[in-house]
Chains A and B, each alone.
Chain A
Amino acid sequence: MIPSLFDYKRASSAAEAISLVTEYGEDAKFLAGGHSLLPLMKLRLAAPSVLVDIGRLKDLSYITDAGSYIAIGALTRHMDVETSSVVKKHVPLLACAAGHVGDPQVRHRGTIGGSIAHADSASDLPATTLALGATYVVQGASGTREIAATDFYKGFLESALRPDEMLTEIRVPKMNGAGWSFQKFNRRAQDWAIVGVAAWRGNGGSGVALVNMGSTPVLATDVATALASGASVADAAELAAAQADPQSDLNASAEYRTHLAKVLVRRALEEASK
C-alpha cells in the first residue's frame, strides 16, 4: 500500500516547521516518527498534501529533570522514554506505559509527542499522561502556550492543537514514590488495548485514566473522588466507567468494555495501593 501523492518538506528547526505548516495550512501535517500517520496514509484514511518532516529536530529529543516535573521533548522516542533512568525513577508509570506501545521496532521510531498529538484514545500514552496530570507545551506562529492534558483531548483523533501549532514538550509531574499500575488488556501481542488503565495512588491523592473507553482518553475522576472520601478500592472501581462512553467493535462490545474497565481499575488500584 502506497500513500497518495504529497509534497515533502524537511524542517531544520521548530520555527521553520511552524512557518511551513502556516504556509500550507490545514493540508499540511507534521511527520515525526510516522508510526501513527503513515499507516493512515497507506490506508488512504489520511491524505495530507504536504508532509513537514520534523523527525530530524534532535533538539526536541530530551529528558530533563526540571525539579517538580520531568520535561520530555516531543520527539523523544518511546524506547528512550521506556529505558530512561530519570523517567524510571520519577515517573515509573510512564516508563512502563511507553514499554507497552507497539513492539520494539515501533518503539525505535515512534515518538511521545507524535502519539499525544495524534490523540488516539486507544493509544497508551495519552491516557497515561492524563492520569499523571501532565501539561503539554505547544509552539505556534503566535508563540508558545501550555495546555493541561485535561483540556487537550477534544474528540476522536482531535486535540486542542491548532493547525499551525506543534507539540514541543511534555511535562509530567514527579510521582514522588506514589504506587502505580499499568493494565493493558489485549488479545494479540503488540496490539492496541481493548481496554487499558493507567493509575497511581499515594501522597494523599490518586489518578486513574482509561485507554480505549471512548472517543478520547478518559480521566476517571469519580474513582479518585471516591477514594479520597474513603471508599474501598473495590467500591471505587465500580465507578470506573461512569464517565466513559465506550464503543462496540470487532474486539469487544461496549458492555464488555465497561465490565473490563471495572475489573482492570480494581486490579490497578490494588497494585498501586501495595
Chain B
Amino acid sequence: MKISVTVNGQTHESDVEPRTLLVQYVREDLGLTGTNIGCDTSSCGACSLHLDGEAVKSCTILAVQADGSKVTTIEGLATDGKMHPMQEAFMQNHGLQCGFCTPGMVMAAIGLLNENPNPTEDEVRIGLEGNLCRCTGYHNIVQSILACAKGGN
C-alpha cells in the first residue's frame, strides 16, 4: 500500500505491506536505526518516537496508520549540529549507561515536558512508566529531565 509520511521534516512516499510496523518502516525502509526495538510488546518504550507531536510506541503501530502523519525520531531532534536541550541534559547529567533505552527515554521525556512543562520528580517518574532502563539507571534519567525542565526547555 502506498503511504506518505513526513519523517524529521522530509516527506517519504513509500509502498509498504500493511503488516509493516512503524518501527520497522523507520529502521529498515528509511534507515533511521536510532529508534530501537526492545521488548517488541509495547512494554519497554525503546521504540518511542513522536507521531504528530505525541510520544507513541512504534512497535504497536502499523506504518499504514501513520500515512499522512508527521513523525519525529531521535535523529530529527538536533538542529544545525546542535543537540536538542533534552539530549544535552541527558549528556550533562549522565542520564544513560548502556544507551539502549536512551532514544526512547529522550522522546518520552520531550513528550512529557510538552504536556507538563514543570513536573515534580514524582510526575517525571510516573510519566516514564512506559520506558524501561535495563541498566536501572533511572536516577540520572529523572535528574536529566528535571534539569531540562528547569532550564526552561
Residues of chain A at the chain B interface (Cβ within 8 Å): 1-8, 10, 31, 34-35, 38-39, 42-43, 51, 53, 55, 102-106, 108-109, 189-190
Contacts and interface: CB of A to CB of B under 8 A. Distances in A.
Nearest to A51: B18
A105 B65 contact: no
B61 A109 contact: yes
B130 A34 contact: no
A39 B19 contact: no
B145 interface: no
A39 B41 contact: yes
B65 A53 contact: yes
Nearest to B21: A2
Contacts of B24: 2
B108 A190 contact: no
Contacts of B20: 2
Contact of B43 (A8, A42, A51, A190): A190
A34 B43 CA distance: 14
Contacts of A3: 19
Interface of B: 1, 17-21, 24, 40-43, 45, 48, 51, 54-57, 60-62, 64-65, 108, 111-112, 115, 127, 129-131
B133 to A, nearest CB: 12
B24 to A, nearest CB: 7
A1 B23 CA distance: 11
Given A35-B42, A104-B112, A190-B43, A8 B18 contact: yes
B109 to A, nearest CB: 11
Given A2-B19, A2-B20, A55-B65, 8 more contacts: A31-B62, A35-B42, A35-B60, A38-B62, A102-B130, A105-B108, A106-B60, A109-B61
Nearest to A108: B54
A103 B1 contact: no
A34 B21 contact: no
Contacts of A190: 43, 129-130
B21 to A, nearest CB: 7
26 contacts: A2-B19, A2-B21, A2-B24, A3-B19, A5-B19, A7-B18, A8-B1, A8-B62, A8-B64, A31-B62, A31-B65, A35-B60, A38-B61, A39-B42, A42-B40, A102-B42, A102-B130, A103-B131, A104-B129, A105-B57, A106-B57, A108-B54, A108-B56, A109-B57, A109-B61, A190-B129
